[in-house]
Chains A and B, each alone.
Chain A
């Protein structure tokens, strides 16, 4: 293996991990507040298609990214209204959101299939990007990669040292107690769900404007679900999400690694890897089922309705 290949592999790992980090961070915040949103895949697709359409129509990527974020939040609002305000079953509502998002995105994107866009361009960090290897791996990315790392830092900080982080956790661990000390449970949960939608919408924009600047039906290819497993894998800790997402990113680009060797594996077999890896992770986690249970937010998945 030569140095160029290693550089390319690390570079691609960063890019592939980025959308997973965004989705998983959003979902983690959501789950910490006690809401399990299985609608990630649907929000992701709608974010991707709306971002792509906005970019095609206006040519303004900045605006398009915001449109994707708002689209994700719009979907999250639907979920939040049903599952928080009306206290519907979170699992069923999340699945419905995914199915609905798949249908809606395919419908919206009908006339945009097969169109290519230039995509958001690389924004090299001055000076640093000239360092050999490290420069290309770390400092020659599009702005969204840097933004993702900033958002990671934000989430990490919020849960480590702010009142807001404490409130979100309180609501997820014991909503009755949180309510008793005057925290508005519904409001915090709704905010967390909207934040999750925004992050997933942004991840959608990343897919359709950076990763592969085009639109095709179901282009998220299960990333929403993989990110859901990542949250469990990371036992609801932001720093582990970062690590896990890059590991998964690496698993998804193993074909690049194999290019350097003499093995030839059909692309469709390689494409199974991230899904197989997810199953392996889920199996591995179960050997530690008690620990997983301990680190999961206590009231996850349970609707809360304050007594009027």
Chain B
């Protein structure tokens, strides 16, 4: 008989092995799924997970998707380390895209690259304000942040839909719910004209380092750590928990907002209804899979970025639904939670006879 037995202390090793177990289990379940759908599982898994990265173009496309995931995930890490369950990165991302687009549409004739500065700032501040709303609701009214941030996501989505159907719609756009295309000067610079990869990946890497330094080396980072591990201890120590909550949510909002504005001034180039394929939600998986550690989060955001590309790939190559992306992401998180039990429990084998 297999039995779960509580460990004396949590296993550090297992906390790093568990994501690998989750990935293997997801691949196995994926293989099973593909064979049920009547496809050669190995070929399908190859198409989903490997073929997107077989050329330089694929790697640059991966970079485009890693950037928003990394920005959202680093912000969320700050919140989750303080045990503030912010699910609102998606809404903050959308508000960033919306606020940035409002600015970008003021500069349709711009020729100087400097217009990017007010555009990016306006996007980040929009995201920050959306995060501020969640912080205010939590600190002032003690409203559950899971529920409020999810509601704010839906409100942000409707604000975006309102904007593209109304005030921000391109007057010359044949009534399509899209804004005008931004001026070339208002688009993020590319590394090379052959690829779509832009400098947003540098922002993402820069802020990954910044956030990590804040968490590992600063006083406020230490306070957040304590707050997350023992809220009572944090209060006894005299930490201002409300101020920490504000800090975490504002930073997360600003980073997710930056990711949003980088998306509309990057690969998209205008405001559209489907500005996010779910980066804000996928970033939650990134944080858990990456163990809230910078290097882990970098790897996890690459994996999640790959699931977005894999979905498109199997749609093009094998005419399988693109929504496999969400299914793989969901399985990954589920298997991770199951495997995480091995951190505090061990599986022991008990011969049946021993119980008699």
Contacts and interface: CB of A to CB of B under 8 A. Distances in A.
Interface of A: 38, 78, 82, 86-89, 91-93, 95-97, 99-104, 106-107, 110-111, 217, 221-222, 225, 228-229, 232, 266, 268-269, 271-272, 275-276, 278-279, 282-283, 285-287, 289
Most buried by B among A103, A107, A269, A287: A103
Contacts of B161: 268, 271
Interface string B144-172: 10111011101100110110011000000
Contacts of A276: 151, 155
Given A111-B321, A268-B159, A279-B148, 17 more contacts: A82-B337, A86-B345, A88-B338, A96-B330, A96-B337, A99-B329, A110-B321, A222-B150, A225-B147, A268-B162, A268-B166, A272-B158, A276-B155, A279-B151, A282-B147, A283-B141, A286-B143
Contact of A271 (B158, B284, B328, B338): B158
A103 B337 contact: no
B331 interface: yes
Contacts of B141: 282-283, 286-287
Contacts of A38: 146
A150 B143 CA distance: 33
B334 interface: yes
B334 A100 contact: yes
Contact of A275 (B144, B155, B288, B336): B155
A102 B326 contact: yes
A104 B338 contact: no
Interface in B128-148: 137, 141-144, 146-148
A279 B159 contact: no
A78 B142 CA distance: 31
B323 A92 contact: no
Given A95-B87, A106-B323, A282 B330 contact: no
B147 A99 contact: no
Contact of A282 (B137, B166, B325, B345): B137
Given A78-B334, A103-B330, A107-B323, A266 B166 contact: yes
Nearest to B344: A87
Contacts of B341: 86-88
Nearest to A284: B141
A78 B336 CA distance: 14
B70 interface: no
The 9 A-B residue pairs whose C-beta atoms are closest, nearest first, are A103-B326, A100-B330, A268-B162, A110-B321, A106-B323, A103-B330, A103-B327, A282-B143, A275-B151
Given A103-B329, A107-B327, A282 B288 contact: no
B340 interface: yes
B312 to A, nearest CB: 14
Chain B interface helix/strand/loop/mixed: helix
Contact of B150 (A89, A99, A225, A286): A225
A95 B284 contact: yes
A101 B330 contact: yes
B4 interface: yes
B203 interface: no
A265 B165 CA distance: 13
13 contacts: A38-B146, A88-B338, A99-B284, A101-B330, A102-B330, A103-B331, A104-B327, A221-B154, A222-B150, A228-B147, A268-B166, A279-B148, A282-B148
Given A95-B87, A99-B284, A268 B165 contact: yes
B59 interface: no
A278 to B, nearest CB: 5
B202 to A, nearest CB: 29
A38 B144 CA distance: 13
Contact of B151 (A78, A88, A222, A269): A222
B82 interface: no
A161 to B, nearest CB: 32
A88 B335 CA distance: 12
Contacts of A103: 323, 325-331
A166 B266 CA distance: 58
B64 interface: no
A283 B143 CA distance: 6
A104 B345 CA distance: 29
Nearest to B338: A82
B34 interface: no
Contacts of A225: 147, 150-151
B256 interface: no
A286 B87 contact: no
Given A271-B158, A279-B148, A99 B285 contact: yes
A100 B333 contact: yes
A225 B88 CA distance: 13
